[in-house]
Amino acid sequence: MTPQVRRPSAVRALTTLLALTAAATIVVELLNWWYAPEQEFGLAVRTGWAMLRSLGFLVLIGHVNRGRVGAKPFGLILAVTTVFAVGRLVVPRQGVPPLPGLLGFAVLSVLCVAVVVLLYRSDAVAGHLVRHRKGLVVEGGTITWREVAPKRPQVTGWLLTGRVAAFTYSPLMLVPALVAGGAVLDGRLAAVPVVLLWFGAGIVVSYLVLFCTAFLMRGRPWARRLLVAITLGVLAVNLPLCWWLLGLDGLIRDGAPLLAAATLTLYSLHRATPTPGAGSR
């Protein structure tokens, strides 16, 4: 029996920190809901989406425990969008934020920053996050379940970060579309076709990003240009609809997280150096 190798202390600290962040996300959202002057449909949708991020941190713990390479970009975008998703609910429509909500948001922000610092600044964590996913491998007439190195060219961390950030476009479009659906039910029936198209666009974007990033990881230059076009298109659709159907409050609460994800995607594509020898088709 092979003895189990003890994980570095920085990795154990990271998993503990991720568990605390998941718990803090739930606590802060419950505080925001409790102190909200109006517990309406839009707040319920945004609160539910923010609380789902606690599951994201639990999934990230699994990636860290398995030493997955993708844990870094996943953790970065999860931390950034969590701060935006929770922060947009701390400030009420009118008046000043409640003190418990502000304190909870401050604690959550510190936890998210600490997660990113450990992921990107700790040599021990970097040395641990080197594994790829496992899969079935046929070799020498036998089938084994082991780690499978990707056949695509080696990609940079920034490219992985841009890919993960782009995957958030769809949910960040669907959440305000659902909120707008509640507003439509309150008497704006003329906007029903627009809301349905908005919701459909959010679903289509998920497939476009999936298709585009598959070739992006293989070093196709046209995939970079396509992802930039998708990003600009998403902003061109989502931000005006947030302004029109949800007002300034909706533009800030729902447009700002998407703008942050789009900025991170574009910056990651800018920082990622083209893979040497990658296909140019």
| Average pLDDT, consecutive stretches of 10 residues, N- to C-terminus, the chain (281 residues) | 63 93 89 75 78 88 87 88 79 72 89 93 87 55 55 68 91 90 68 89 95 89 94 95 87 87 92 57 44
Tell me how far apart the alpha carbons of residues 165 and 169 are, in angstroms, rounded to a whole number: 8
Q: What are the boundaries of each domain within the chain?
A: 1-149, 153-281
Smallest CA-to-CA distance from 149 within 133, 161, 164 is with 133
Tell me how far apart the alpha carbons of residues 102 and 105 are, in angstroms, rounded to a whole number: 5
Is residue 97 classed as helix, strand or coil in its secondary structure?
Answer: coil
Is residue 144 classed as helix, strand or coil in its secondary structure?
Answer: strand
pLDDT, residue 220, reads 87
CA 162 to the chain's CA centroid: 10
Tell me how far apart the alpha carbons of residues 15 and 57 are, in angstroms, rounded to a whole number: 9
pLDDT, residue 267, reads 93
End-to-end, the C-alpha distance of the chain in Å comes to: 49
Is residue 149 classed as helix, strand or coil in its secondary structure?
Answer: coil
CA 215 to the chain's CA centroid: 20
CB distance 71 to 119 below 8 Å: yes
Compute the C-alpha angle 265/267/272, nearest 5°: 95
Around Cβ 120, how many Cβ atoms within 10 Å? Answer: 14
